[in-house]
Amino acid sequence: MKIVELINLDKKDIPLHYRNEYSGTAVFKTKTDDRIEKKVEFVLERLATGEKEIEINFLDEIEYPLLPLTNELKQHILELDKKGKLP
């Protein structure tokens, strides 16, 4: 499966300026071009070293190896953050 987009993103209001929490729906595309939507929550935290750490929590069951999906979703989130497209 490949990540297509993140939709319905909602940023949670928390008082920490270096930590952002989001919820939304990750849209994946299977090898047979089926579109699958799974609810996710993720945290984007800026560490003191300047690096960004991402924690992802899938709220729906995933019938696919979780590690490749998680890594691909993290890369997609980092790209959105870099382009300033996260809420």
Domains of the chain: 2-83 (3.10.450)
Sheet bearing 19-29, strands edge to edge: 2-12, 19-29, 35-46, 52-58
Average pLDDT over residues 52-79: 94
Per-residue pLDDT tens over the stretch 25-65:
999 998 888 999 999 999 999 999 999 999 999 999 988 88
* Percent of the chain residues topping a pLDDT of 70: 100
User: How far apart, in whole angstroms, are the C-alpha atoms of residue 1 and residue 30?
Assistant: 4
